[in-house]
Amino acid sequence: MERAKLIVKNFGPLKDIEIEVREMVTFIGAQASGKSTLAKLLSIFEDENFRRDENITFEEELKKYNIYSYLKQETYISYDNFESKDISLSSFVYENSEYLKFGSSNCLDLVKRDLNNYKKIDFLKDFINYDLDFIILRKIEFIKKFIRHFNLSEDKTNIFIDYFINIKKNKSKSDIDQILEILEMEKKPENYISIYEDLLNILPEVYAFDSLYIPTERNFLHLIAENTLGLINNNVQIPKHLLNSGQDYEKAIKSIKELPLGIIDKKIKYKREGKTSYIYHNQTEKVDLLESASGLQTVVPILLLVEYAKSLKDEYNFNFVVEEPELNLYPKAQHELIKYLVKNCLLDRKNLILTTHSPFILASLNNLLLAYDKGQSKPKEVNKIIKKESWLNPKNFIAYQLKNGKAYKITDDKLGQIKENMIDRISDEFSDEFSKLLNL
């Protein structure tokens, strides 16, 4: 169940944190409790480019998210991405003001230095298999490109392609040793190295995208859209992650011309006309998005960014981070938005990280978790209440409450639900206050 582990000590508001990262993670906590800081750190570590590219430094990434000043002498951060119980396919440690990234390139170097170390070679084989599986899940063109490196005969090429197609069809795992057999190559370290180097050559294209951070300031994205380059060139003091989101948003408004806004109201539509975005309340009545309701201004950027990410599909590996999805939304719309996000942001190799203060968001998540659970025995009946595409598998979900610099898990894995938490207690305190007033 445990996919990755993040440990953070003495970093800004985070004093002593140890969390498990699943496909979907939700953080709750008071303001300044460190929800966004954790979400931003995950955004950095869940980014394949950062993991693989030695030239992208940790400090640069922290600056991008405006959290560089949190870094202190006593800061300790570690991140381990586990594919299986024993193998960490990507790890990161920051200690004593230095950091070490361990990923594919380091692994290659280690094996090159120590060709007789079978443990390291096994480790390299795991990397190769992991990356091959990753590619297989994407486009067959990548496999063809990989195969072209070997200058094989047509027959051999077909055997090779069939091998990958079968893996994709049967959802089984790649095995580099079987591949070497097909290629009639000896199973020796030099061959593993050369194959992995070939593979890495095509990987930048495969791991083409990083995390998609949707900040609380998302209504601001529309104001800077089409001007982000100017703002960057003129060195205007706007946090870099906002400008980055702004650039993604620019691409989104250019590619998504029309979008139904069923989350708010079935009759409402978003439409891009020329350089202006409009909200259509019916066939003819339209309002400039900038003059529309605040709920629309905050929800449209989420939908546009997610729809844009969906349109890119296969080649991209997305990690969606949505800060406070509830902003400016009526409770029913909050529930609809959560259903939409679970449906669209949790597909294969896509993660979803949320921060929230809303009891409605937590109640909504609990319903989706229960829907999955009940759906196993009564799929048709459950589907009538909550569509299957929005069911949330409890195994893929985890929630934490942040308090005094620490993180407390608030999901009950046995029941597959969010347990009692600080937001519940606040609701109770409201009721207590009400009782006291009433009894005066």
Partner 1 sequence: MTEELLIQFPEIIENGCLKSINNKHSFIFDDNETKKGVFVTAHDKFHLHVEKNHSKSLNFIQNDSCVMNSDNGKQCDYVLFDNEKVCFSEIKATKENLSNRRKDALKQLENTIKFYFENNLFKNYQSKNALITFDNNKRIAPQASKSTKTKEFKVKYDVNLNEGNYILFE
The rounded Cα 331 to chain-centroid distance in angstroms is: 25
Q: In angstroms, what is the minimal distance from the CB of 413 to partner 1?
A: 12
d(CA 241, CA 65) in angstroms, rounded, equals 5
330 binds partner 1, rule: CB under 8 A = no
d(CA 203, CA 132) in angstroms, rounded, equals 10
- Among 182, 259, 293, 363, contact with partner 1 (rule: CB under 8 A): 363
Q: Please identify, among the stretches 81-89, 227-235, 309-317, 423-431, the one whose residues bind partner 1 according to the rule CB under 8 A.
A: 423-431
- Among 177, 181, 412, 413, contact with partner 1 (rule: CB under 8 A): 412
Specify the residue, 123 or 360, whose C-beta has the smaller distance to partner 1.
Answer: 360
385 binds partner 1, rule: CB under 8 A = no
d(CA 6, CA 45) in angstroms, rounded, equals 9
Q: Please identify, among the stretches 69-77, 84-92, 238-246, 430-438, the one whose residues bind partner 1 according to the rule CB under 8 A.
A: 430-438
Q: How many residues bind partner 1 (CB under 8 A)?
A: 27
Query: Buried b / exposed e across 17-43, counting CB within 10 Å, b at 16+?
Result: bebbbbbbbbbbbeeebbbbbbbbbbb
Q: Taking CB under 8 A as the criterion, which residues in 39-98 touch partner 1?
A: none
CA distances (Å), 205 to each of 167, 316, 360, in order?
21, 9, 40
- Among 13, 260, 359, 405, contact with partner 1 (rule: CB under 8 A): 359
413 binds partner 1, rule: CB under 8 A = no
Cβ-based neighbours of 363, under 8 Å, separated by 6 or more: none
421 binds partner 1, rule: CB under 8 A = yes
Specify the residue, 26 or 292, whose C-beta has the smaller distance to partner 1.
Answer: 26
Instruction: Decide: 16 and 406 in contact? Cβ < 8 Å.
Output: yes
Q: In angstroms, what is the minimal distance from the CB of 331 to partner 1?
A: 8
Task: Give the CA-trace dihedral at 61, 67, 70, 75, to 10 degrees.
Answer: -40
Q: Please identify, among the stretches 66-74, 268-276, 298-306, 418-426, the one whose residues bind partner 1 according to the rule CB under 8 A.
A: 418-426
- Among 237, 348, 438, 440, contact with partner 1 (rule: CB under 8 A): 438
362 binds partner 1, rule: CB under 8 A = yes
Q: In angstroms, what is the minimal distance from the CB of 434 to partner 1?
A: 6
431 binds partner 1, rule: CB under 8 A = yes
Instruction: Decide: 146 and 202 in contact? Cβ < 8 Å.
Output: yes
435 binds partner 1, rule: CB under 8 A = yes
197 binds partner 1, rule: CB under 8 A = no
Specify the residue, 1 or 438, whose C-beta has the smaller distance to partner 1.
Answer: 438
Where do contacts with partner 1 occur on this chain (CB under 8 A)?
359-360, 362-363, 365-367, 370, 412, 415, 417-421, 423-425, 427-432, 434-435, 438
